[in-house]
Structure 1
Amino acid sequence: MKYMLLIILNPKTNEALSEEQQATVGTAHQKLMALTKETGEFVAAEALGEPARTTVVRVRDGRTAASDGPLVDAEEYFCGYYIVDVAGRERAVELAAMIPDAQWSAVEVRPFFEMPEEG
């Protein structure tokens, strides 16, 4: 079953990390990617740009409107994700706990919607 592990970032918390803590974040992400690739559970992972670089698009009555900035102004924001294909929720939670950001912020574990097969 596929899950998205959504990494939530609080910039204030992130800025308060020691240099040593900041240095371990990249290494921990590399280890997690290597592990999930080795086990065949890795599907994808990406970091996202800052919310200030966001464009929100809405279509109303056939007209497209685009506005700069995030949909919701919040202290914490979605900064990246992993997509994993695992046996179940327990394994997804186990992998989410390995994401270093979970120590200082949060990681949301969300299953993909499974479309019913036609036929």
Structure 2
Amino acid sequence: MKYLVLIHSAPSPWGHPTVDFTPEGRAQSPEQRAAGAAAFDELLREISASGELVTAEALGAPASSTVYRWQDGAHVVSEGPYAESKEHLAGFFLLDCATRERAEALAARFAGPGDTIELRPAMWGD
């Protein structure tokens, strides 16, 4: 079953890894940041080796987005940022996990200082 791990964050300035650009991440000690980076690297090694990582991508700043909507029978185009929100989609990881429980366990490990993680199953799983 495929699951999308969505990383919502509000780095300022916009950058990746987001923890380096969030107030919560910058408030960590160098030792805490190093431990977090090591844990994240281990997570990536684990899901790569197991074949659970399908793909991942960090996203550019919300201001670089373009939004396309349908309104009054026509397309309406507007420049980003696309949402009036503090947090924006910063990146994603597509995982292929045997169970929902495994996907939940992995998603929890993606949460970093200043980030909100959303786990969503793919509509057509496989």
Contact 1:4 1:111 in 2 (8 A): yes
Alignment gaps of 5+ in structure 2: 12-22
TM-score normalised by length of structure 1: 0.77
**Are residue 7 (structure 1) and residue 7 (structure 2) matched?**
yes
Indicate which of 117, 120, 125 corresponds to 1:107: 117
What corresponds to 1:39 in structure 2? 50
Whichever residue aligns with residue 65 of structure 1, its letter is: V
Residues matched between the structures, number:
114
**Are residue 55 (structure 1) and residue 66 (structure 2) matched?**
yes
Indicate which of 80, 83, 91 corresponds to 2:91: 80
Q: What is the DSSP-based 3-state SS (H/G/I as helix, E as strand, rest coil) of the residue aligned with 2:5? A: strand
Q: Structure 2 CA distance, aligned partners of 1:98 and 1:89?
A: 15
Whichever residue aligns with residue 70 of structure 1, its letter is: P
Q: Considering only aligned residues, what root-mean-square deviation do their CA atoms show, in Å?
A: 2.4
Per-residue deviation, 1:59: 3.6
Q: Structure 1 CA distance, aligned partners of 2:41 and 2:95?
A: 15
Structure 1 moving runs of 4+ over 6 Å: none
Q: Structure 2 CA distance, aligned partners of 1:76 and 1:90?
A: 26
Q: Structure 2 CA distance, aligned partners of 1:58 and 1:77?
A: 18
